[in-house]
């Protein structure tokens, strides 16, 4: 017999982030994301959780042992991810825990129409923030990257 218990504990919401304005003419490339570039977070008192949401702007790593892989764009990074010219696109793959164990292959959108307010970049502390105008401009109409924002 099933039971119902009123109350329970509140959970911190996290989940798949929708960032596309339209799914028409979306072009995706495959990359490997370096697990070490995704900052750990605490969710419901559990520290060390690594979550990579769709809509996160991704950039190439050009130095360190992780060179050739990608990670979340952050102006404070020192491994190449801070350079706007290294942006490869916007993450399309939801990784709720896999990066805690290993590097993972993801799909990165390099041509699409997205909603800027639904896209993510990392601030100096590694926290997710809404995509800034400067970063959005770096994603528009450059060679190999053409993301339109609404």
Taking a C-beta distance cutoff of 8 angstroms, is the pair 50, 97 a contact? Answer: yes
Distances (CA, A) of 102 to 33, 50, 95, 97: 9, 11, 11, 10
**pLDDT over 70 at 1, yes or no:** no
pLDDT band at residue 45 under the 50/70/90 scheme:
confident
**pLDDT over 60 at 89, yes or no:** yes
pLDDT at 10: 60
Stretch 50-78: mean pLDDT, rounded?
A: 95
What is the percentage of the chain residues whose pLDDT exceeds 90?
A: 71
Stretch 47-69: mean pLDDT, rounded?
A: 95
The model carries a pTM of 0.89
Contacts of 7 (CB under 8 A, 6+ apart): none
pLDDT at 54: 96
pLDDT at 74: 94
pLDDT at 9: 62
Contacts of 108 (CB under 8 A, 6+ apart): 28, 29, 30, 31, 58, 70, 88, 89, 90, 91, 92
Residue spans of the domains in the chain: they are 20-149
Stretch 56-83: mean pLDDT, rounded?
A: 95
Q: What SS3 state is found at 139?
A: coil
Taking a C-beta distance cutoff of 8 angstroms, is the pair 128, 91 a contact? Answer: no
Q: CA–CA separation, 100 vs 39, rounded Å?
A: 10
pLDDT at 33: 98
**pLDDT over 90 at 50, yes or no:** yes
Q: What SS3 state is found at 79?
A: coil
With tokens 């370096």, the residue in question is 34
**pLDDT over 80 at 38, yes or no:** yes
Q: CA–CA separation, 138 vs 63, rounded Å?
A: 21
């Amino acid at each position: 017999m099933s039971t119902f218990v009123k109350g329970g504990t509140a959970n911190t919401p996290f989940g798949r982030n929708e960032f596309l304005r339209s799914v028409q003419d979306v072009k995706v490339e495959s990359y490997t994301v370096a697990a070490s570039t995704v900052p750990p977070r605490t969710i419901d008192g559990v520290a060390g959780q690594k979550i990579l949401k769709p809509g996160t702007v991704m950039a190439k790593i050009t130095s360190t042992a992780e060179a050739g892989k990608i990670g979340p764009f952050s102006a404070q990074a020192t491994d190449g991810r801070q350079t706007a010219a290294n942006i490869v696109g916007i993450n399309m793959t939801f990784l709720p825990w896999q990066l805690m164990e290993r590097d993972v292959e993801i799909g990165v959108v390099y041509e699409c129409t997205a909603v800027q307010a639904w896209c993510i970049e990392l601030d100096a502390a590694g926290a997710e923030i809404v995509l800034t105008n400067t970063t959005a401009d770096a994603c528009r109409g450059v060679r190999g990257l053409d993301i339109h924002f609404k």
